[in-house]
Amino acid sequence: MASTPTSSPAASANLGSLPADAISYDDLYARWERGNWSATELDFSEDARQWREDFTEFERQAALWNYCLFFWGEDAVADNLSPYIDAAPHEEQKYFLTTQQVDEARHAVFFKRFMQEVCGIGDGSAASGLREIKGQLTPGFRKIFDRLDTMAQELRADHSPAKLAAAVTLYHVIIEASLAQPGQHFICSYLEQRDQLPAFRQGMANIAADEQRHIGFGVKLLCDLNREDPRGVPQAVAGLLRDVTRYTAQVLMPPGWDERYVTVFGSTYDEVGVEGLTSMTTKLRSAGLPVESLPGPPLLPPGLSTLEISQRGRALAKAGIIGVREGPSKRDPETLELLFDTIVRQVNPEHGLGRPTVFQWEFTDPDVPTWHLTVSNGSSAVAQGEAASADLRLRVSYQDWVDIIGQRLDPMKAMLTGRLRPRGNPLALRYLAKVFPRP
């Protein structure tokens, strides 16, 4: 049997002592043995009565929408964990991941039972319950869990530290720490305050304890992988985060953006969003991968508080700027101002431009005004209107430019097809690539 993995002295010296170093794989496994519980022994009879008699029709609708995300998610992660076990380089890691797969299957059984016995969804089989709830899944949720499916396929073919780190970031940091855990806290909080659904509440508390153990494992594994490949792992983690964080604002996206689906239970969208963002950044820092140190363009808009980032993400998603676009993107003055403020915050501080350079967007839409960006050493500024002299003018429709920003349209393809037409100093196009480097 392989020994418990440890980092080499040289690697440890490079990254120093981190919170993840206080965790051992053996201890995590022992916690699993001590924390075992049964999803089949919970008695949902009182929950069913309260669901019928104590919840209003809208409360049932809002709660069901939220619980459906958990049911689908637990089934999906249980299905996709096997490649992680195969890719883990050490036996102790494989052992723990095996316990995690058991946990995820137990969570799926718990939600299947609750959906059928309390909410009347499905015939008692997992397949029937999943079919009935599929329509409740939000656009952001679908995108992130589609990525989990493709990640599992990639991991089967590539067991490298960098690929495993990207997979762990998606599973343990994004899905478990920044999406599921805040959602669990939200649910457990209002059920505890209202003293409702006792069996469901007990099951959710058990699930939360399991997930906390999973997250601790993921943070430790990320830390160890980063020490093994300190060049490739940060690149892979940054790439994964850029791939999926644009969808996170649409995971807890209620139908029609009706926030009563959240506020009816005493919380707000931003309270859940702030907890999720804080959890993500804290876990990455504990693994020795603080988000601000990751390579490439800034992953989060600099200069904003966590609350402001959550609010901005929601506003940009509602406007059809980031995430899944459903219909034309908004183009009102407030949205345009937010869009270009976000653009200026994404300027690469290491652009290397020797003199102030002006980039101007000249939209083909008659109802969208021109905007320009001035990039200087140490500062950048954006303003509505034409610049006195622009180094590079970008002629493009507003929707095409928004789709480029939202990574729904490739800028090179847009130029080749004439949808994005640059004019001005030929070198300025190269400068633009330095100002906004592609990941």
pLDDT in tens, 317-333: 999 999 999 999 999 99
In degrees, rounded to 5, the angle at the alpha carbon of residue 316 between the alpha carbons of residues 314 and 320 is: 115
Q: For the chain, list residues with pLDDT below 70.
A: 1-16, 439
- The string of pLDDT tens digits covering residues 46-73 is 999 999 999 999 999 999 999 999 999 9
pLDDT at 275: 97
Give the N- to C-terminal CA distance of the chain in Å, as an integer: 40
pLDDT at 7: 38
Domain final residue pick, 276, 294, 318 = 318
The sign of the torsion formed by the CA atoms of 348, 352, 357, 359 equals negative
- Distance (Å, rounded) from C-alpha 111 to C-alpha 120? 12
Same domain, 51 and 134: yes
pLDDT at 4: 40
Q: Which tokens is 4 given? A: 């418990």
* CA 238 to chain CA centroid, nearest Å: 12
Residue with token string 């633009």:
432
Same domain, 422 and 305: no
Could you count the other beta carbons within 10 Å of the beta carbon of residue 303? Answer: 9
Instruction: Please state the domain count of the chain.
Output: 2
Q: What are phi and psi of 301, to 5 degrees?
A: -60, 120
57-80 and 126-133 helices, crossing angle to 10°: 120
Residue 112, domain CATH? 1.10.620.20
Same domain, 100 and 196: yes
Range(s) of the domain holding residue 120: 9-318
Q: Amino acid identity of 429?
A: L
Contact, 391 vs 423, CB < 8 A? Answer: no
Tell me which residue of 201, 207, 69, 44 sits closest to 119, measured CA to CA: 44
Same domain, 229 and 344: no
